[in-house]
Structure 1
Amino acid sequence: MSDSDIIATHTADAGAPPAEDRVHDKEDRLRREFVREVFDAVADGDDERARGLVAELHPADIADLIELAPGDERADLIEALAGIVDAEVFAELNEHVREDVIDEMEPQQVADLAAQLDTDDAVALIEDLEEDDQRAVLRAMEPDDRAAVEEALTFGEETAGRLMQRDLIAVPEHWNVGQVIDYLRSTEELATDFWEIFVVSPDHHPVGTCKLSTVLRSPRSMQVGDIMLKKQTLIPIDMDQEEVALKFQKYGLISAAVIDPVGRLVGMVTVDDIVHIIQEEAGEDALLLSGAGEGDINEPIGETYKSRVRWLAANLLTALVAATIISFFEESIERMAVLAALMPIVAGVGGNAGTQTLAVTVRAIATNQLTGTNHWRTVWREIRVALMNGLTIAVLIGVGVTVVLGSTPLGAVIAAAMLTNIVVAGLAGVLVPLGLERAGADPAVASSVFVTMITDSLGFLMFLGLATAAGLAG
């Protein structure tokens, strides 16, 4: 068969409709029927059938299967899939599920798994173990693996030091392409997965990078220093993983060199690790804004309770502030009961306006779109947006109250209160997270509590205060 025939065949195959996938649904999730079939095989003691069903699955799919199993059935499932549930599967497991599974394993088993993984994945495997269990696992590891993991554990959580891999390819710039290729082919103890080669000076400082495609397409006699890219993105070892992810996103990186405080090359971060970080960070701020903790359905109930109840208690305190303001106007509410029906509208719409601005601001801070250079321009932008929104909603509610309740003064009062509250909500939504960031706090953690307190309290104060001042409840 000629090359053109092969290409034509592949093209025809690519255009053919795919056969129905009995394992995955349209959203690439494991089908319920398939999962049930595997679980039934394990329950019936038919381990061979269970292994046959999952043998061709990707490690990530096997990890999903383990996570879908009830907690008291996971050990039996893993035992039935012996030989298939390997280190790669453990690296893909949800951290809470992985912790539960590892707690049931012997230190030597955990050490054997860690030895098969890149340093960053090995650290993730054992970093949450109890201190005694962690020491036992480290003692069971080979000296080189243990030293790498122990060094990684000295770095702060969610830093480049924890995230990086230590297995990389580094060559001197005076080598030629032929020497590099011979080195890659003849040296056994090298990284197995890499996309670029780092070029270093005699004191091991990174001076450039070479893509594999460039190396392979260059003559053997060509000097590495002549084909390398001198401009590269260097990652300090103590950089927060969120900032690392932003650099990968901004500059379209596949991998990047990690340097120690004196500028020496100590590791690399690859895009496959960054994908996980971007996914985590994307959902983290939304969960923090709601006070829902990690938002992980595999998180232990006790931890979920503790992370949520403290924010509910904080919300209770802010609600008491609003209730106290309402108590100052009891007589006005008694004289004109319709005020009690209308005042939640002012606070509720103001709260929604504040939440909109808050969500945009927190995201802009997280993605480095909002900085000290443009924050006042952003504040002015949000004021204008709030004014336009406030005027629109104020006119609608004012006309509505006037028509329905037949009271022009009451319509004017609620319109004025609504306009004021929406404008203040917009200001609070941008100034509160900016203030928290300047104070060194995470703007996503407590912003919503403060913004809610401001919009509720001010909404009630403005509406009831104006109504009282206008003599509507007289």
Structure 2
Amino acid sequence: MSDEARLDEDDILLAEAPPEEGARPDDRIDDERHDEENRLKPEYLRAVREALEEGDKGAVYELVEPLHPADIADLFELIDRDERGALAAAITDLMSSDVIAELNDYVREDMMEALPAEAVATIAEQLETDDAVQLIEDLDEEDQQAVLAELDAEDRAAIESALAYPEETAGRLMSRDFVAVPEHMTVGDVIDYLRGRLDISSDFFEIFVVDERHHPVGTCALSWILTTPRHIALSDVMKRDQTLIPVTMDQEELGLMFQKYGLISAAVVDENGRLVGQMTVDDVIHIISEEAGEDVLLLSGAGDGDINEPILEAYGARVRWLIANLGTALVGSAIIAMFGAAIEKLVALAVLMPIVASIGGNAGTQTMAVAVRAIATNQLTRANTWRIVARELRVALLNGATIAVLIGIGTAAIFTPHLGAVIAAAMIVNIIVAGMAGVLVPVVFERLRQDPAVASSVFVTMITDSMGFFAFLGLAVASGLAG
């Protein structure tokens, strides 16, 4: 067959195996182990626990063996901590690298610490480099060194190189398994080269083309390789425009880049521009999910928010923000104390104060959530900060006017028109301040190179509460209502 030979479209048969009689697409999840949402059923979990309590390893193995590695990882997370060792012992040959890679970080850390160094090293050698790094980086320094000492020289060098990069950067997360070829090859040369490679153990979606200095000069999708005649030069079909990922790029920015440009994979380059690894979309999906959940938890001061997190670590992560919030709450109390005499003269002020503060706090939280997300997704930058501020100001004015009318009418009907006018004016002031604080506080933290999701909520709450009390009580005194 000549190089130019092609299969006609009519010569290609796209066959789809007929479904088995009575089979349904959801048969896998509609069984004795999974519910309709593909979660392990309580009855199945109970059966595994009973077998563990009875010490019947055969029954445990029979129950777990049909599960997908991801479901086995879920099973470890669902059972109690003191049951995990017995489960691992009962299904030793099912504890594949796929199961280890799917485990929750805290669960995996507990299990690895309970295993001897040589056992952890054996598991690490089965994993791809990025997964092995994730496995070892969670261990104590002493345990890390013990495991590294058990690895062969090549694996140890690759993992130590990755651990040298900061956490949550491309250098730490990248895969070192990729295919790179020189640009002088033809398509046929590439195909022959790939067929002769017996050490390609990972999936790949494109081939990176490099120059003599190992700098990436282009990429070639596998579909192009398969549909191009053998004699065509690789340099004639490769895509020269490509997105390069520096090894020091933060994982959040990495996720945004994949999302923005619709990448399947991308080359990772070191400080000299040399190709050292690749990032693939399956890894980035985990990053995007992790970053989205992290920002939500940071806004609430809940730490990692993982139900497998040790109690003392969860306590430490949450209590420090509660203490900080206690300090900022004292500011609001001090303002109330300034108007103690006015409150004594008109008890209605004390009744209505929480409403002003509460509505302002909610308005600030809404705006802050929008601002933090916009910063995280690069929608709010130095180039459009004031446009976003102006937009939120207009939204705050509309919200303030609407709530002011409602609370003013209600207060006038229950108390007096004078008090209704005062609380309406205070509500407008507080919601406008809340809207500005909700944008400007995260922006200030971002300009100071601090994570805006970490401490914004504490300061926004302080501003809205303090300003709500001050505006309401101040206007009441100034208008002679409580003079």
Give the TM-score normalised by structure 1: 0.97
Q: Where do 1:386-397 residues align within 5 Å?
A: 386-397=396-407
Say whether residues 1:409 and 2:418 are aligned partners.
yes
Distance 2:379 2:400 in 1: 26
Contact 1:169/1:191 (CA < 8 Å) preserved in 2?
A: no
Going from structure 1 to structure 2, the CA distance change for 1:262 and 1:132 (only over 3 Å counts) comes to same
Of residues 29-38 and 289-298 in structure 1, the stretch that sits farther from structure 2 once superposed is 29-38
- Taking the aligned partners of 1:428 and 1:313, their CA distance within structure 2 comes to 21
Task: Please state how far the C-alpha of 1:53 moved relative to its aligned partner.
Answer: 2.0
Residue from 272, 275, 279 that aligns with 1:269: 279
Match of 2:461 among 452, 468, 474: 452
Give, in whole Å, the separation in 1 of the partners of 2:395 and 2:207: 49
Instruction: Name the aligned partner's letter for residue 369 of structure 2.
Output: A
Aligned sequence identity (%)? 61
In 2, Cα distance between the equivalents of 1:410 and 1:113? 71
Cα 1:431–1:148 change in 2 (3 A) is same
Distance (Å, rounded) in 2 between the aligned partners of 1:32 and 1:199: 51
Is 1:47–1:80's contact at 8 Å kept on the other side of the alignment? yes
Q: Does 2:97 match 1:97?
A: no
Contact in 2 for aligned 1:51/1:81 (Cα 8 Å): yes
Match of residue 120 from structure 1: 130
Larger deviation: 447-456 or 224-233?
224-233
* TM-superposition CA deviations, 1:17-54 (whole Å, max 9, x none): 74732222222211111111222222222222222222
Give yes or no for contact 1:39–1:77 (8 Å, CA) kept in 2.
no
Task: Write the distance in 2 (CA, Å) between the matches of 1:237 and 1:191.
Answer: 23
2:382 equivalent in structure 1: 372
Query: For residues 66-465 of structure 1, what are the structure 2 equivalents within 5 Å?
Result: 66-405=76-415, 407-465=416-474
Query: Structure 1 residues 215, 5: CA separation in 2 closer, same or farther (over 3 Å shift)?
Result: closer
CA–CA distance in structure 2, aligned partners of residues 58 and 282 of structure 1: 26
For the 8 Å contact 1:257–1:265, the answer to whether it is kept is yes
Q: State the secondary structure of the residue aligned to 1:155.
A: coil
Task: Give the Cα–Cα distance (whole angstroms) in 1 for the partners of residues 373 and 131 of structure 2.
Answer: 28
For residues 154 and 279 of structure 1, the distance between their equivalents in structure 2, rounded to whole angstroms, comes to 25
- Cα distance in 2, alignment partners of residues 184 and 431 from structure 1: 54
> How much has 1:422 moved relative to structure 2?
0.1
Separation in 1 of the partners of 2:99 and 2:137? 17
The alpha-carbon deviation at position 424 of structure 1 amounts to 0.4
Distance in 1 (CA, whole Å) between partners of 2:230 and 2:31 is: 47
Aligned to 2:63: 53
Structure 2: gaps (5+ residues): 1-11
Deviation, 1:11, is 10
* 2:5 paired residue number: none
Which is further off, 391-400 or 187-196? 187-196
Cross-structure match for 2:49: 39
CA shift in 2, pair 1:211/1:348, >3 Å: same
Structure 1 residue 6: deviation in Å?
Answer: 6.0
* Structure 2 CA distance for aligned equivalents of residues 5 and 189 of structure 1: 31
Provide the rounded CA distance (Å) in 2 between the counterparts of 1:42 and 1:177.
56
- 285 and 8 in structure 1: CA distance in 2 versus 1, 3 angstrom threshold: closer
Distance 1:43 1:371, change over 3 A: same
Distance (whole Å) between structure 2 residues aligned to residue 315 and residue 301 of structure 1: 21
* Larger deviation, residues 90-99 vs 382-391: 90-99
Q: Give the residue type in structure 2 aligned to 1:447.
A: S
User: How far is the alpha carbon of 1:137 from its aligned partner?
Assistant: 0.4
Task: Mark the CA change 1:13 to 1:160 in structure 2 (over 3 Å): closer, same or farther.
Answer: farther
Query: Following TM superposition, by how much is the alpha carbon of 1:99 offset from its aligned partner in structure 2, in angstroms?
Result: 0.7
Partner Cα distance (1:15, 1:94) in 2: 31
Kindly provide the amino acid, as one letter, of the partner of residue 325 in structure 1: I
In the alignment, the residues of structure 1 paired with residue 22 and residue 171 of structure 2 have an alpha-carbon distance, to the nearest angstrom, of 45
Q: TM-score, normalised by structure 2?
A: 0.95
What is the Cα deviation at residue 249 of structure 1?
0.7
Rate the CA distance shift 1:223–1:96 in 2: closer, same or farther, 3 A. Answer: same
Write the distance in 2 (CA, Å) between the matches of 1:14 and 1:24.
Answer: 17
**Residue type matched to 1:271 in 2?**
V
